[in-house]
Chains A and B, each alone.
Chain A
Amino acid sequence: MANKFDLNDDSVAVVIGSGAGGGTLATELALKGVKVVCLEAGGRHEIEDFINDEWASFGQLAWTDMRMTSGSWRVSKNFPNLPAWIVKSVGGSTVHWAGASIRFQEHEFKTRTVYGEVKGANLLDWPVTLKEMEPWYAKAEDRMGVTRTNGIPGLPGNNNYKVLEAGAKKLGYKEVHTGRMAINSQPRDGRGACQQIGFCFQGCKSGAKWSTLYAEIPKGEKTGNLEVRTNCHVYKIEHDNSGKVTGVVYFDKDGKSQRQKARLVAVAGNSIESPRLLLLSASGKYPKGLANSSDQVGRNYMRHMTGSVYATFANPVRMWRGTTMAGIVQDESIHDPKRGFVGGYEMETLSLGIPFMAAFLDPGSWGREFTTALDAYEYMAGMWLVGEDMPQASNRVTLHGKVKDKHGLPVPNVNFDDHANDLAMRDHAYERGVAIYEAAGATRVFPTAPYPSTHNLGTCRMSKRPEDGVVNAYGRTHDIKNLFVSDGSQFTTGGAENPTLTIVALALRQADHIVGLMTKREI
């Protein structure tokens, strides 16, 4: 099938990646009349292709290209070649996300100011404030159909939520509800209401959950301005002598190298692949990689303080029935250093099926300690703890010195160590999670170590001063005027909240900014 836009058409915008950042940006630019070529490394799996089966779905959707890990984090020990569980398919991780759509809090945009200096942490204020983000958050919430906004009712709570709610309320927690979710509680935007299928992580087969795959990209394609090319892996961004980006080279579905010229390039490959690409694009003029005069490309990798708590009860719960993230306790998301750490965390319900529970409840464990836990699966409730982890310069994505991928390119290595603040926060969160479940009558509790990261942030961070980061307040790289970053790697700090809503809000704002620059002929 011939390309819609010519490879030599240098008037197109090239967007790399089709997820929350790339998919939203590509669509919004197209809606505004800009010609866009969106290059997606993965295939295109639509709603009818999704599989309600954890391992089969993982094989279909997950990014499993070889990756390496190092550092003291437990993910490196348990899953040395799977630092992240993200999606390689049109829609990116918006295909498998749980739908939680919460705004950052005001202080989370200025942690260096509010938390002060935290030893060993590379804290920095964002170059944008909550006030500036508010109109874009509002646009994103309307776009995505977030419950509890825009007159959209909250979703009903499933059994797993009922347990969380009962325990949390007994302890006196106040901010307990079924969440602000980008999942239709009633039909909206041509998509149906949630059927409580319970396989959110495997792609929403009712389409109730927002995803760029079916809620954004088709709208962009309908304008005639958006071309999505699948199985196209970009391996280098090219520039001219002045340093301006001129296009990208990628391996197409047949493994052939192709060059697409571009007026501008936006990188949105998620926070491991985006810095990898900038580093792989090193040249004579940019020996440290593109947009890397600050040496911050790949650094400050954050994955949120995470962990889970599962608990068994004397009566059945059947937590697998219904939405995976069915509710939340937000009281601990505040900044209250009296607890022994800066920043806060959210507590959100979580459920896994038997296949994944066996793999992730306690990786490496065997024998009766483990199997008696699984035997009580029907009586089990679960929650996921997600909080602000500290950016550290040494937590970083680099090009591996030895291991190469199937194209002969160095694979990324993710190096990570927990900061003392992360450990203190996690311990507190485990204790509170256990307390909630015990208040609800738990007979046995299981604090569970972090999984391969589903939230990956910070590796091309925003900064006011070029020497502190990679991009400015609009995701435009400090070094190269027509090179942008559009995914979660822009995050200066991680906040306590799930990142997707902020990524979408930033993408909408960035699209608006890019069109302004194009109109003024600045790019």
Chain B
Amino acid sequence: MEQILNFHQPQRRTFIQTSVAASVSLAVFGLVNQSEAWALEVKALSPSEAKTMLQLCRDIYPHDRIGDEFYAVAVKGIDSKAQKDSKFKKQLTDGLKDLDARAQKGFKKAYVNVGWEIERNKVLQQIENTAFFQSIRGDLVVSLYNQEGVWPVFGYEGESASKGGYINRGFNDLKWL
């Protein structure tokens, strides 16, 4: 599915079983503490790269009420893909290196250490049209938002048919108009 959302053509199609991957990943680690979020199993990325990737993912789609564990699921998915695809892995490591270089140039710090989101955004704006950025963003739009665990943050109630639909569960309960 993420291939459909990428802007580069033509590509071989692969469909990722995101909801299955998400539930497996969450079972692998029950960590909430941000400082340990990248202790998750990354094989292709180094721990430091995983930490940068985590911050990048949050900065692309920042939701203050979504915990790191959900962004970490996305990072783990990206890492799995990099384990199987050496070209993709190179794109990642080059992209992260470039990201840090730009952060150093602008703020004299590695990307994860640039303290303010608004400053990190200035770095991202420089790379938003790169294949690296677009491929992370395109992946994330499914791997982050397709996790059932994040839906309650938005109020979205998910699957409905087995609960009898909404005919008796407030489909027309709006009273403020």
Contacts and interface: CB of A to CB of B under 8 A. Distances in A.
Interface residues of A, number: 58
A354 B4 contact: no
Interface string A190-232: 0000111111000001100000000000000000000000000
Contact of A358 (B15, B141, B171): B141
Contact of B160 (A56, A197, A403, A441): A197
Among B157, B159, B174, which residue has the most Cβ atoms of chain A within 10 A? B174
Given A66-B10, A205-B161, A198 B1 contact: no
Contacts of B4: 64, 79, 81-82
Contact of B142 (A81, A194, A206, A359): A359
B177 A81 contact: no
A321 B145 contact: no
B164 interface: yes
A322 interface: yes
18 contacts: A52-B162, A55-B1, A64-B13, A80-B7, A158-B172, A159-B174, A195-B167, A196-B165, A196-B167, A196-B171, A206-B161, A318-B157, A354-B151, A371-B61, A371-B62, A374-B145, A378-B154, A440-B177
Interface in B24-46: none
Contacts of A64: 4, 13
Given A358-B141, A358-B145, A206 B165 contact: yes
Contacts of A56: 19
B130 interface: no
Given A198-B166, A371-B62, A59 B171 contact: no
Contacts of A441: 177
Interface string B124-144: 100010000000010001101
Interface of B: 1, 3-5, 7, 9-11, 13, 15, 18-19, 59-63, 65, 121, 124, 128, 137, 141-142, 144-146, 150-151, 154-162, 164-167, 169-174, 176-177
Contacts of B157: 318, 320-321
Contact of A354 (B5, B13, B154, B165): B154
Given A158-B172, A374-B63, 12 more contacts: A66-B13, A68-B10, A78-B7, A159-B173, A318-B157, A321-B171, A322-B167, A366-B61, A367-B60, A377-B154, A378-B156, A441-B177
B177 to A, nearest CB: 4
5 smallest CB-CB distances across A and B, nearest first, come from A195-B165, A378-B155, A322-B171, A197-B165, A358-B145
A162 interface: yes
Given A206-B165, A354-B154, A366 B172 contact: no
B142 A55 contact: yes
B13 to A, nearest CB: 7
B156 A354 contact: yes
A374 B62 CA distance: 10
B161 A197 contact: yes
Nearest to B18: A55
Contacts of A77: 7
A507 to B, nearest CB: 29
A258 interface: no
A367 B127 CA distance: 13
